[in-house]
Amino acid sequence: MYIASPERYGHFEYNRCGKSGLKLPPVSLGLWHNFGSSGSYDNMRAMCTTAFDQGITHFDLANNYGPEAGSAEENFGRILRDDLMPWRDEILVSTKAGYYMWPGPYGEWGSRKYLMASLDQSLKRMGLDYVDIFYHHRPDPDTPLEETMEALGDIVRQGKALYAGISNYNGEQMTRAAKICRERHIPLIINQNRYSIFDRSIEQNGLKKAAGDEGLGIICFSPLAQGLLTDRYLNGIPEDSRIRTDGRFLKDSALTEERLEKIRALNSLALERGQSLAQMALQWVLKDSVVTSVIIGASRPAQILDNVRCASGAPFTGEELEFIDRNS
């Protein structure tokens, strides 16, 4: 029987999410990959309990995570029942709806119908009465933003979520959403977006500045650029790598010789700092207070143990930050 480590809260400080009262761990565990129906349940279970023992209290899901869609939530629900449910009040569970989930006009995007139906399905799969954060997963070009935000607000008022979030919104879209939520007293607290040394889009589209102005937190996915910002590809493409086994999100074309030279340069800097490249890349994303947490993916518990140590790295010097910018 699993018993949580009594030392789990001694690994790092927790970060306040924008101007809300909620604190998140600097590192959160994402269940986007390796928690679907094709994965090993024992490995999933070991990753979740290892994460919690390291102080990672936040588990990030979505309705369509798998494969098959919904299976990550089902597996996480099983892990909760088998291991983590005694600590439910110490755990943040987030899920999302916005991408395609079922056929017909009510199975994706941002209508009130879809969001409420999807969350009911998610709660059933996980065996929960509520989630801590419920996100709209992507902007909907056709549904009025007011309808989407009001649906999130009603979900909170019904007690099915404690906080509302948005994902993949740019700075202008987030500002509009935040204004609607302020006027309607909806606890919108966070925006989830891609951010890494190699992907600075949240700086370019105004999101990073807007989040600070609006008092929202940012939680970042793909902080390791789908594995490029690790030591996996320093000497070529391993046969068991994501490029070889799952080319949907990371393709051979991403690993050009120019990019490989930059990865090797960044790795050398990380070693000089006494870190792995992954640890340094995660710490870089967290260097500004507007970023509340980074979402890591993992295929085995050892990766979690390595990544969580990013929170203890030495502060970056100006010269190091300039070096990283030149090799981004």
Average pLDDT, the chain: 95
Global confidence as pTM: 0.95
DSSP state string for 290-322? TEEEEEE--SSHHHHHHHGGGGGSPPPPHHHHH
| pLDDT tens column, 141-188 | 999 999 999 999 999 999 999 999 999 999 999 999 999 999 999 999
| pLDDT at position 239 over 70 | no
Residue with tokens 């040394």: 197
Cα separation of 130 and 114, whole Å? Answer: 17
Say whether the peptide bond before residue 68 is cis (omega within 30 degrees of 0).
Answer: yes
Residue with tokens 């879209």: 173
Q: Report the percent of the chain where pLDDT is more than 90.
A: 91
- Domains of the chain in start order, with CATH, are 15-255+277-315 (3.20.20.100)
The torsion angle over the Cα atoms of residues 171, 172, 174 and 180, rounded to 10 degrees, is 160
Cα separation of 195 and 202, whole Å? Answer: 7
Contact call for residues 110 and 100 (beta carbons, < 8 A) = no
